[in-house]
């Protein structure tokens, strides 16, 4: 269960409704955000793309997770997001429930480290904390106050440093985190 409702795997038939829900929650310019650079040429992790449904609004919530490779060692991690809940269903616990279910499944799959860009006060509710500044960079600007991580395996962050990339891609540049840019929700 995802809190008050069932938490379902996202199916190919859901994809158009998921895009619509993301446009509703984030606006149609959402693809300009740095997190999207890590979704292009990447594929969401099977088994970790979830939705909630209800008879009123259809899809009420969505979450997905994406594989990353970090730094010279290509250390594995996941990028959480996008996470969105329909405006008419916010504040009912769906966002937290989708994250709890997704993180539990990620842990069961053996993933140790999850990153995201988002509001720390919200994501702290499921264990996320600010990344130490300068440890990991993204292929675009990110406000370091909003660059968060959680360890699903204790110690998973130890020794992980460098540019986060789509697994298998080559680093062309290593941009540094910059304060004040992209100061909005990404996850």
Ligand X SMILES: CC(C)(COP(=O)(O)OP(=O)(O)OC[C@H]1O[C@@H](n2cnc3c(N)ncnc32)[C@H](O)[C@@H]1OP(=O)(O)O)[C@@H](O)C(=O)NCCC(=O)NCCS
Interface residues with ligand X (CB under 6 A)?
Answer: 25-26, 83-85, 90-96, 118-119, 121-122, 185, 187
Q: Which is nearer to ligand X, 7 or 75 (CB)?
A: 7
**Strand (E) or helix (H) holding 130:** strand 129-130
What is the distance between the alpha carbons of residues 60 and 95, in angstroms, rounded to a whole number? 10
**Which residues lie below 8 Å from residue 42, measured CB to CB, with a gap of 6+?**
66, 67, 166, 167
Q: How far is the CB of 5 from ligand X (least distance, A)?
A: 11
Q: Which is nearer to ligand X, 35 or 165 (CB)?
A: 35
Provide the token pair at 33.
């955000």
Q: Which is nearer to ligand X, 22 or 164 (CB)?
A: 22
Which pairing describes strands 50-54 and 147-151: parallel, antiparallel, or unpaired? unpaired
What is the distance between the alpha carbons of residues 27 and 184, in angstroms, rounded to a whole number? 12
Q: What are phi and psi of 23, to 5 degrees?
A: -65, -40
Residue number of the CB atom closest to ligand X: 95
Pick from 24, 18, 116: which is nearest to 65 by CA?
A: 116
Q: How far is the CB of 20 from ligand X (least distance, A)?
A: 13
Q: Which is nearer to ligand X, 21 or 75 (CB)?
A: 21
Question: Residue 25, Cα to own-chain centre: how many angstroms?
Answer: 15
Q: How far is the CB of 45 from ligand X (least distance, A)?
A: 19
Q: Which is nearer to ligand X, 69 or 83 (CB)?
A: 83
Q: How far is the CB of 22 from ligand X (least distance, A)?
A: 8
Q: How far is the CB of 144 from ligand X (least distance, A)?
A: 15
């Amino acid at each position: 269960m995802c809190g008050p409702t069932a938490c379902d795997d996202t199916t190919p038939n859901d994809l158009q409704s998921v895009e619509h829900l993301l446009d509703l929650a984030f606006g149609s310019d959402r693809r300009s955000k740095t997190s999207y650079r890590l979704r292009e040429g990447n594929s969401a992790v099977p088994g970790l793309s979830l939705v909630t449904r209800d008879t009123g609004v259809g899809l009420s919530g969505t979450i997905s997770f994406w594989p990353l490779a970090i730094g010279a060692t290509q250390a594995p991690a996941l990028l959480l997001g996008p996470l969105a809940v329909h405006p008419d269903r916010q504040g009912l616990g769906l966002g937290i429930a989708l994250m709890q279910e997704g993180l539990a499944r990620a842990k069961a799959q053996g993933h140790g480290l999850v990153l995201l860009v988002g509001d720390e006060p919200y994501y702290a509710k499921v264990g996320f904390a600010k990344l130490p500044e300068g440890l990991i960079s993204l292929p675009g600007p990110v406000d370091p106050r909003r660059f968060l991580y959680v360890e699903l395996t204790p110690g998973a962050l130890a020794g992980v440093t460098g540019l986060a990339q789509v697994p298998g891609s080559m680093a062309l540049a290593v941009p540094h985190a910059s304060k004040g840019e992209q100061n909005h929700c990404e996850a």
